């Protein structure tokens, strides 16, 4: 295969598939494939915002596979961003959406699409790819030369309350009423800023990144002096938190009270060991392993085990 501009020209005689780099017009095909794989519809606008990484100077870093009928059957893509490492910025990317139609699995499509994407990263100047694979993706990434550098650890803080969100989602009733309620409750704490920066070697969360990251519905609040970046699911899912180091117990107690008021049955944190967030939480709760942290180094020249992440750095947050 040969890279030609924005596309891939298929010269392999042993595969009936055609491979094309994603662009704005093909994001609808990504949404179409997602629905076929997961039986769930995602608006095209979501992918439009998620893959709009113009602030990095690089966009649409991924490939679709099409069958001989022109239907999208597999996809692999990464999301460009910057990594801050000591006193320099590195153009990097997060390994993100990976999916193959059930009728086209076990045909080597993931390996082909991933290798095409890695070559494109080299051409675009991306020198490090990182990811948080699930058990389905892990074996494939190991075959492609990725290395595990760390493991995000998960802390769950139970909250005794009526699980209102779970009931609303299950029954589909009173959704609009609940949305109005939780926004009213959060108004007391909510800040206008989008997300929070970090202060360790990891994803560079400047204003441009935080504006980009708003493709997901998250909130930033101030509570007991701490800044908390979170999203509401069945749980109070916290992406990151700063300013709590000298007041962690009070902050956690107030977050539990807020979760109870919102009908959320737990607080959830995920962070790399040896971060301030992890250290503060471990004084009160026992973590369990969550996602492995993996990298494919394309010539960054850094020591990868110095990189640290929280749940806020994952594309699903």
What pLDDT is stored for residue 94 in this prediction? 98
What pLDDT is stored for residue 236 in this prediction? 96
What pLDDT is stored for residue 7 in this prediction? 54
Nearest to 274, CA basis, from 248, 242, 308, 303 = 308
Q: In the chain, what is the straight-line distance between the N-terminal and C-terminal CA atoms, in Å?
A: 35
Which residue has tokens 């494109």? 120
Classify each residue of 87-111 as buried b or exposed e, where b means 16 or more C-beta atoms within 10 Å of its C-beta: eeebbbbbbbbbbbbeebeebebbe
Sign of CA dihedral 36, 81, 63, 129: negative
Long-range contacts of 122-126 (CB under 8 A, 24+ apart): 122/298, 123/3, 124/58, 124/61, 124/80, 124/91, 125/58, 125/91, 126/58, 126/61, 126/78, 126/80, 126/91, 126/92, 126/93, 126/298
- pTM for this model (two decimals): 0.91
Architecture (CATH level 2) of domain 152-290? 3-Layer(aba) Sandwich (3.40)
Per CATH, domain 2-126 is 1.20.120.530: no
Which residue numbers in the chain have pLDDT < 70?
1-13
C-alpha 283, offset from chain centre: 27
Same fold, 2-126 and 152-290: yes
What are the residue ranges spanned by the domains of the chain?
2-126, 152-290
């Amino acid at each position: 295969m040969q890279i030609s501009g924005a596309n891939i020209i298929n010269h392999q005689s042993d595969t009936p598939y055609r491979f094309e780099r994603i662009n704005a017009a093909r994001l609808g095909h990504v949404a179409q494939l997602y629905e076929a794989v997961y039986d769930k519809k995602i608006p095209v606008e979501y992918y439009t915002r998620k893959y709009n990484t113009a602030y990095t100077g690089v966009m649409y870093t991924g490939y679709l596979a099409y069958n001989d009928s022109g239907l999208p059957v597999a996809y692999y893509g990464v999301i460009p961003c910057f990594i801050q490492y000591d006193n320099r910025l590195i153009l990097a990317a997060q390994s993100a959406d990976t999916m193959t139609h059930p009728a086209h699995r076990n045909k080597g499509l993931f390996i082909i699409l991933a290798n095409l994407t890695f070559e494109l990263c080299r051409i675009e100047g991306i020198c490090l790819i990182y990811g948080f694979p699930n058990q389905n993706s892990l074996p494939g990434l190991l075959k492609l030369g990725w290395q595990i550098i760390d493991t995000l650890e998960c802390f769950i803080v139970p909250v005794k309350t009526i699980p209102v969100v779970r009931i609303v989602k299950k029954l589909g009733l009173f959704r609009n009423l609940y949305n109005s309620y939780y926004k009213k409750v959060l108004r007391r704490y909510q800040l206008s800023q989008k997300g929070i920066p970090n202060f360790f070697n990891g994803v560079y969360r400047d204003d441009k990144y935080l504006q980009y990251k708003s493709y997901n519905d998250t909130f930033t609040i101030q509570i007991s002096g701490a800044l908390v970046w979170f999203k509401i699911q069945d749980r109070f899912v916290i992406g990151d938190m700063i300013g709590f180091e000298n007041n962690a117990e009070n902050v956690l107690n107030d977050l539990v009270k807020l979760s109870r008021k919102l009908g959320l049955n737990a607080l959830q944190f995920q962070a790399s060991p040896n971060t301030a967030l992890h250290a503060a939480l471990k004084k009160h709760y026992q973590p369990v392993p969550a996602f492995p942290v993996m990298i494919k180094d394309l010539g960054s020249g850094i020591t990868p085990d110095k990189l640290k992440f929280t749940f806020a750095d994952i594309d699903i947050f």
